[in-house]
Amino acid sequence: MQVSYLDSLDRAVAVLLKQAPIRESIARLKGELQTSPEPFVWATLDCQPLAGILPPQILSAWIFVLRRDVWSGAHFHPNSIQHMVVVEGRGRSKIAGEERLMLPYGTPGHPPEAAWHVIEKKVTHEFLPEAADMVVISFHTCAPDELLEIESGTGHARVYEVRN
């Protein structure tokens, strides 16, 4: 992964976090998580305001709020490369069986690429927020209504957003 590519994603996150509707979406999702039985909740983001910033292969953007002290569940995306960064909280990732600390976006003393998790197609991954719920921004190389998640072990498939 080229550093300039991650620099573009870093700039996109900075733009998103300055927008009041994004902060409102995060607050709403945190509330939804409290009543949801799921380990995480999500919302898609409009990529139009990020035109000219996002690399051309990025076709969708998402906010996920993951439940504290609960693994997200091992899964993979057969049709998308995922680019993810923590914007609130902290935790660990397990990607292809390898655990790694999840540094928050903008951690002082670390290059931007240290905070990014780039997960190739068909690579199993899961996340564990620690001490508090964790908010992440995730960019994918497929459209929102095409993002497919396959549960590891069961093979159960989920499409995150259904085309209207």
pLDDT mean over 101-130? 92
Q: What pLDDT was estimated at residue 3?
A: 54
E strands within the chain? Answer: 40-45, 60-66, 75-76, 82-88, 91-95, 98-102, 117-119, 125-129, 134-140, 148-151, 157-159
Q: What pLDDT was estimated at residue 111?
A: 82
pLDDT mean over 68-90? 96
Distance CA 29, CA 31 (A): 5
Q: Is a pLDDT exceeding 80 seen at residue 163? A: no
Q: Is a pLDDT exceeding 70 seen at residue 79? A: yes
Share of the chain above pLDDT 90, in %: 80
Q: What pLDDT was estimated at residue 45?
A: 94
Residue 141's H or E segment, with its range, is: none
Q: What pLDDT was estimated at residue 134?
A: 97
Fold designation for 3-159: Jelly Rolls (2.60.120)
Joined tokens for residue 59: 């076709």
**By the 8 A CB rule, do 144 and 160 touch?**
yes
Tokens 């009041």 found at:
20
Q: What is the largest CA-CA distance in the chain?
A: 44
Q: What is the DSSP letter of 130?
A: -
pTM here is 0.93
Q: Is a pLDDT exceeding 60 seen at residue 24? A: yes
Q: What pLDDT was estimated at residue 1?
A: 43
